[in-house]
Structure 1
Amino acid sequence: MIDSIYVGMTGLSSFSRGLRVIANNTANMNTPGFKSSSLQFSDAFYSSGGYSGRQFGQMGYGVSTAGTTMSFKAGELRQTGKGLDLAIDGQGLFTLKGEDGKITYTRAGQFQFNSDGVLVDQATGAKVMGVGADGGQTEIVVANSKTNAGKPTTTVKFTGNLSSAGTDQTINGVRVIDAAGGEHLLTAKFTNTNATTPGSWKVELLEGTTVIATQQLIFATGRPTAGTSKLSFSYTPSGQAAMPLTLDFSADVTSFASGTLSTLAFASQDGSPPAELSGTSFDSSGALVMTYANGQTVKGPRLSLARFDTADAVGAIGDNQFEALDSRAWHTGVAGGAFGSVRSGYVELSNVDLSQEFSDLVIVQRGYQASSQVISTANEMLQELFSMKSR
């Protein structure tokens, strides 16, 4: 009966540990990137009970626990709309580097740029690692990319119909950006020269009243000819070097008779002035995308991702982070293939299955009650034995 009490105690101890694991899982059901665990039970060693070598004579000594195993099943991806909230659709993990230089891994991609412009984990401040040009791991930094220098205009596009029955057309406000980021409003003047060359127009590019250059635009069956659909000019802003300009009529420009009314107009230009950084995010390949107020985008380093061959090589260390217990089972790389793709504006939620946890809770509770009942029964039998002796 003393043995029975001991066996019951192993049940109470083991089921208490099981309850703790369930409690930890349910407490973290809303923790981003959390991976649930399950407790492994095993039977205790056996004695022969005086019947050495005979299988039917073996008697057990209760139950023990063999540790926990983590489930790396993916959690739900929930949209947050924040460009630096990242999730991985696949098996990869983000790589972090702590202040002590230790490398850890996480699925909870809630990041931000600190005051030094370095991408870090919001919870711990650990640096998020990327892949440098040499293929090695590097920090992801925007400190030197806060401003975009812009670029000068090279192509100006037009759209609309230049009435073949008209005599001239003047388009003001042709916007051009110079190499220093300055803006200039030029004028394009079209004069019908059909009497000299069928379907032709003289095109003058002016700054104020000064003619920069003159070219010829020719239409055939209402469309610009291949040789004149893009006209090249050289424009020299005040105090700067000459810059090439192309007036592009190839896409949406026609010349049909429509009275004397023309709808030809300035459509767009490809230059941009200097501007400040207005947003950051990551694309599906894990590359940093920096967006500027002038509409320009620039790509930076790609995120360094990791994956493992077996869950036995992974250890949980808290703060939604994991460590490599066996470096031989770990691999590093970038998004794509086995590492998965990066989803910007999403966070992976916990993979805890609450209905499963409640089912396990009932089983653990019943096991604990049964073990307690065994101890109570054995105690009553001992008391009965002692009472018999006293009589």
Structure 2
Amino acid sequence: MLRSMYAGISGMKAFQTKLDVVGNNIANVNTFGFKKGRVTFQDLMSQTIQGAQAPQVDAGGNPVIGGKNPMQVGLGVNSASIDTIHTGGNTQTTNRTLDFALEGDGMFVLAKNNTADSTINVQDDDLNFTRAGNFYLDSEGHIVNANGYYLVGIPEGGTGNGLLQIPEDAQSFSIASDGSVNYVDAGGNPQVAGQIQIAKFSNPEGLQKAGSNLYKLTDNAGAYDTNNDGVMELLSPGDAGSATIRAGALEMSNVDLSEEFTEMITAQRGFQANTRIITTSDEILQELVNLKR
């Protein structure tokens, strides 16, 4: 069989993957905190027909014949990586108290714990991370996301990470840029419920998407760890160059429709060109079969 046919098949597979990623980007153009994907390609191994040769000289050191470059035929293309591009999205003002936008590096931390007095162990607990800042209050006053996962912070008077709760009799509450959760109690006195904590990663592209705008920690994410003990440390907004919180706003998707449509067109043309390679190779094979007639 012709090598070009297999090269065309590999090209079709690669461009199909690219179209899948572009389609997912376009589908999430209005998803809060969504980070677009990107596909990169790399060539497959090449078949060496003739290796490189050094220049040849005679006994007197005079050149006899010059060197030759290697002769190789490529065998197609492969998807090298599917990257998650963690650039910031546009900020949309909503004026809703529980809408938070992160300005800078970092992510909100979410936990599944369902007891208000529990302490969150950042090493052992099943934590999730997100840039989507649309939060809500449950029936007990805890700050949760759309899936009911609890926003992690340092409760007032607590010694570690835990759940943030606003008393049911609070007249009003607000969130400061440093993550402080403030409220006015029933007597009209200002109080502090705690402080939101965020996670920072040296390589956010190493996080694994878990669906529902959530990410999971992996060994390649490079979680913030000043003690070098392998335990991720959470930060208060603004600390160590981490993001600050802007209340009453949401970070939108970083998908650029014009860019995605351009990528879709190039992927479509690349896919069509590879199908033409297969068609041409098939016609050549047909000619070979017909030689016997």
TM > 0.5 fold call: yes
Q: Distance in 1 between matches of 2:205 and 2:176?
A: 31
* Distance (whole Å) between structure 2 residues aligned to residue 97 and residue 48 of structure 1: 54
**1:23 to 2:23 alignment:** yes
Work out whether residues 203 and 220 of structure 2, in 8 Å CA contact, stay in contact via their aligned partners in 1. no
1:3 and 2:3 equivalent?
Answer: yes
Counterpart residue number, 1:178: none
Q: Which residue of 2 aligns with 1:131?
A: 154
Matched, 1:108 2:132: yes
CA–CA separation in structure 2 for the residues paired with 1:313 and 1:368? 29
Instruction: Note closer, same or farther for the CA distance 1:278–1:327 as it changes in structure 2 (3 Å cut).
Output: farther
Aligned amino acid, residue 45 of structure 1: M
Contact map agreement 1:84 1:280 (CA 8 A) in 2 = no
The amino acid that maps onto 1:351 is N
Aligned-residue offset at 1:32? 0.1
Matched, 1:78 2:92: yes
Would you say the 8 A contact 1:87–1:343 is kept in 2?
yes
Q: Which residue of 2 aligns with 1:369?
A: 272
- Specify the code of the residue in structure 1 equivalent to 2:136: Q
Alpha-carbon separation, structure 1, partners of 2:282 and 2:37: 35
SS at match of 1:347: strand
Q: What is the alpha-carbon distance in structure 2 between the residues aligned to residue 74 and residue 352 of structure 1?
A: 10
Matches within 5 A, 1:53-92: 53=52, 55-92=69-106
Counterpart for residue 379 of structure 1: 282
Rounded to whole Å, the distance in 2 between the matches of 1:76 and 1:295 is: 36
Please state how far the C-alpha of 1:116 moved relative to its aligned partner. Answer: 2.2
**Are 1:284 and 2:202 matched, yes or no?**
no
Q: How big is each residue's C-alpha offset from its partner over 1:326-358, in whole Å with a ceiling of 9 and x where there is no partner?
A: 277112200114112111111110001111111
Find the counterpart in structure 2 of residue 207 from structure 1.
none
Identify the residue that residue 351 of structure 1 maps to in structure 2: 254
1:1-391 matches, cutoff 5 A: 2-49=2-49, 51-53=50-52, 55-99=69-113, 101-122=125-146, 124-132=147-155, 133-142=157-166, 145-147=167-169, 277-292=170-185, 295-326=188-219, 329-331=222-224, 332-337=234-239, 338-389=241-292, 391=293
Tell me by how many angstroms 1:56 deviates.
3.1
The change in CA–CA distance for 1:357 and 1:12 in structure 2 (over 3 A counts) is same
Counterpart of 2:207, as a letter, is V
Larger Rg: 1
C-alpha distance in 2 between matches for 1:379 and 1:312 = 41
Deviations 1:287-338 (A, max 9, x none): 1121357654322210010111013431111111111112771122001141
Please give the alpha-carbon distance, in whole angstroms, between the structure 2 residues aligned to 1:48 and 1:77.
Answer: 53
Shift of 1:135: 4.8
| Residue aligning to 1:243 | none
Structure 2 counterpart SS, 1:48: strand
**Counterpart-to-counterpart distance in 2, 1:74 and 1:109:** 13
Contact 2:99 2:247 in 1 (8 A): yes
Amino acid in structure 1 at the alignment position of 2:142? V
CA deviation vs aligned residue, 1:351-374 (integer Å, no higher than 9, x gap): 011111111111101111110110
The aligned amino acid for 2:154 is V
More displaced 10-residue stretch of structure 1: 40-49 or 125-134: 125-134
- What is the rounded CA distance, in whole Å, between the counterparts of 1:12 and 1:320 in structure 2? 30
CA distance in structure 1 between the aligned counterparts of 2:210 and 2:17, rounded to whole angstroms: 19
TM-score (normalised: structure 1):
0.62
Equivalent residue letter for 1:330: A
Q: Distance in 1 between matches of 2:109 and 2:261?
A: 33
Question: Helix, strand or coil for the counterpart of 1:18?
Answer: helix
- Alpha-carbon distance, 1:146 to partner: 2.8
State the Cα RMSD in Å.
1.9
Instruction: Please list every run of 5 or more consecutive structure 1 residues that lacks an aligned counterpart in the other structure.
Output: 148-276
User: Is there any run of 5+ residues in structure 2 with no aligned partner, and where?
Assistant: 54-68, 115-124, 225-233
> TM (normalized to structure 2)?
0.82
1:188 corresponding residue in structure 2: none
In 1, the alpha carbon distance for the partners of 2:220 and 2:185 equals 40
Percent of matched pairs sharing the same residue: 31
- As a proportion of its length, which structure holds more strand? 1
Q: Distance in 2 between matches of 1:297 and 1:80?
A: 24
The 3-state SS of whatever aligns with 2:70 is helix
- Report the equivalent of 2:119: none
For the residues of structure 1 that align with 2:190 and 2:19, how far apart are their CA atoms?
A: 52
The alpha carbon displacement at 1:52 in A equals 3.9
Contact map agreement 2:140 2:168 (CA 8 A) in 1: no
**Residue number in structure 1 paired with 2:63:** none
1:119, distance to aligned residue in structure 2 (A): 1.3
Using the alignment, how far apart are the partners of 2:132 and 2:102 within structure 1? Answer: 9
Q: 3-state DSSP class of the match of 1:330?
A: coil
Question: Matched residue of 2:135: which SS?
Answer: strand
